[in-house]
Amino acid sequence: MRNILTVCLGNICRSPYAASVLQHRGSWAVDARSAGLSDKWTGQPAHEEMLELAAARGFDLAGHRATQVTPELLEWADVVLAMDYKVLDELRRQADPTVFGKITFYLDDQDVPDPYDGTTDDFARAADLIQQGAHRHLP
């Protein structure tokens, strides 16, 4: 079993979608969870646009509730996947040095842009990038 933690800013768009994709594709070999850096949306459901897009693509975010990243989640994870450079930098700034080696990008050479406050196309682009990059993290 590989424990994967996906992290974005608020845990209502990119990271829950990525965790859902990884869990679905990794099946029994993966336990994927998500969290956000900010506590602003803690307890809130996924963004409505992402909920609809996920459902249309066969992923279920209906039960998702935003959570903030914690030292315990970082310790639990075998790998921590940051959705963009800002998230990666902040995770490394906040995290205990013992988990630095676990923290990396979801995509090697680019951010998964934050679609929050964007258009339907912005959400679709983020979802496309997440789905295209998922195979890199599966056992």
**So where are the chain's domains?**
2-137
Given 14, 33, 84, 111, the catalytic residue:
14
Given 13, 84, 111, 114, the catalytic residue:
114
Report the pLDDT averaged over residues 132-137: 96
Give the DSSP per-residue string, 30-89.
Answer: EEEEEEES-STTTTPPPPHHHHHHHHHTT---TT----B--HHHHHH-SEEEESSHHHHH
Closest CA to 114 of 36, 42, 56: 36
Contacts of 14 (CB under 8 A, 6+ apart): 6, 8, 83, 112, 114, 115, 126, 130
Instruction: Domain 2-137: give its CATH superfamily.
Output: Response regulator (3.40.50.2300)
Residue 108's pLDDT is what?
87
Active site residue 14: yes
3-state DSSP assignment of residue 104: strand
pTM exceeds 0.95, yes or no: yes
Query: 23 in the Ramachandran plot: left (φ > 0), alpha (ψ -120 to 50) or beta?
Result: alpha
User: How far is C-alpha 61 from the geometric centre of its chain's CA atoms?
Assistant: 12
Q: Does residue 4 register a pLDDT over 90? A: yes
Length of the chain: 139
Active site residue 31: no
Alpha-carbon radius of gyration of the chain: 13
Residue 109's pLDDT is what?
82
Q: What is the pLDDT of residues 69-109, one digit of tens each?
A: 999 999 999 999 999 999 999 999 999 999 999 999 999 88
Q: Are 74 and 5 in contact (CB under 8 A)?
A: yes
Q: What is the pLDDT of residues 18-71, one digit of tens each?
A: 999 999 999 999 999 999 999 999 999 999 999 999 999 999 999 999 999 999
Which residue do the tokens 């990243």 mark?
A: 69
